[in-house]
Each structure stands twice: as structure tokens, then as C-alpha cells.
A and B are shown apart, each in its own frame.
Chain A
Amino acid sequence: MGSIKLKPKARKGVIGIKALIKHPMETGQRKKKGKLVPANHIVHMVVSHNGTVVVDADIGSTVSKNPYFKFNVAGAKGDTIELKYKDNKGKTGSATAKSK
């Protein structure tokens, strides 16, 4: 699906994980030219640190278009952060980045 910008940055023993996912996050209630735009949004997201799941999130359509998230996890420069998501249509996306 959409691209993911994943920016983990370590500072003083904590990795600040910033993520921006390109996704329309349609609620299914919006009308365009009189017709309802079908729901199309991320429903589930998982963030892992060096292979271990640290965030397991249920996401609703109230989250803004092109959702942005920031999390903090204890860690260091060079650690691997992975983000995976799934939307209501079953499409998935993922990104991996080494923490700066």
C-alpha cells in the first residue's frame, strides 16, 4: 500500500521512533460527488525492536490521513526497528530501519 517513513533516533538510551505512513484513512462516511467513499483505513499496527514486539496497536479511522506516530523504546544506535500494518481491506505494509 502506501509508503512508510520510519525514523528511529537514539538519544540518551532511548530510541524515539517517528513514523509517517501514507494511507488515506477513509472513514467510510465521507461523501465525494454524492457517493460514499468506502472505508479504507489501517486497522492494526505492530512495532518491533530488534525482533521483539514493543507496540501492538488497534487503529481506527479517527486517526488522520497519512497517520503519524511517535513511540519511545529503550535502545541504542544501530538497533533495528520494524513497523508493520494491515488495513481493513487486508492490504499490508512494512518498513525496517536501523536507529540513528
Chain B
Amino acid sequence: MKRRLFLKSAMAGSAVATAVGAGLLAPSMVFANTADFKAKSDAATASTAAAGKGSFKFKAPKIAENGAVVPVTVDASKMEGVTQISISVANNGTPLAASFNLSGAQGYVSTRIKMGKTSPVVALVTAGGVTTKVTQEVKVTIGGCGG
């Protein structure tokens, strides 16, 4: 498909990463009418590769109590001009869990995600045109007890 080819060729020159970084890869812009989530996930993955380490807070458990409900919080409220926060679970089929475009809300998001197995979880924050990341590995175990 045209969009996939665009991504593949762009990745080489990290134009996509730049596009994401500049806040250009916003919903319903590059990907016209329909929100093609898988493509957004690919874009986030590309962005993760290009992003430098962030100074924001990313809270996720080291060992998840229950893989179906893993609480995660991204707190970039001390940063100026946060325009986007996204959360990805690297080892999930489609890594991107959610992408929040902020246009007035503070740089803060808290939610609960599903994880099928142990995986790094990546928080991406775009502020002032620059995307940075914080990664945390979350262990998911299968419990034994409790009826």
C-alpha cells in the first residue's frame, strides 16, 4: 500500500522520525481520512528508534501484578510545550497502545494497559518539536494461586 511504502523509504532517511518529532505526524494529517492505527504504530516504533532519552517521569511496575491491568503514568508536566504522549508495548503485536495529542491538557497521562508477556514499555513525549523516550521493562508472570 502506498502508505507502507512511504514509511519504508522514509525510515532510511528518518524523515518519518523527523515528521513525528516535528509534530507533523498528527492524526488525520499524513494518513488522510481513516485513522490507520497500525501505520501510527509503525511511526511510533520508528520514532522510538530515533528518540533520545527523555527527562520526564515514566511510572510502570517492574513486575506487573496482573498482565491485563498494568497501570502506567507519563508525567512530563514539568516540560514546556508538550504536544504528544504515546505509550508502546514493544513485544505486543501492534506495539502502540495509545497516542495522546495534547492541545491544552498538561503533559500528563495515566492509563492501564494489557501485556501478554514481559516487554519493554516505551513512553514517548514530543515537546517543542523534539521527541524523547523513557523505557521501562515490565515483567509479566503467570500467577499460580488464588482460585
Contact = CB atoms under 8 A, between A and B. Distances in A.
Contacts of B35: 43-44, 58
A69 B112 CA distance: 8
Interface residues of B, number: 34
Interface string A61-98: 11111011111111000000000000000000000000
A56 B27 contact: yes
A11 to B, nearest CB: 13
Contact of B102 (A55, A61, A65): A55
B98 A63 contact: yes
Interface in B76-122: 77, 89, 92-106, 108-115
Interface residues of A, number: 30
Q: Is the interface of A mostly helix, strand, loop or mixed?
A: strand
Given A49-B104, A65-B68, A71-B105, A60 B97 contact: yes
B101 A57 contact: yes
Given A54-B102, A55-B100, A69-B111, 8 more contacts: A56-B27, A56-B100, A60-B98, A61-B94, A63-B98, A64-B69, A64-B112, A65-B68
Interface of B: 27, 35, 37, 40-41, 68-70, 73, 77, 89, 92-106, 108-115
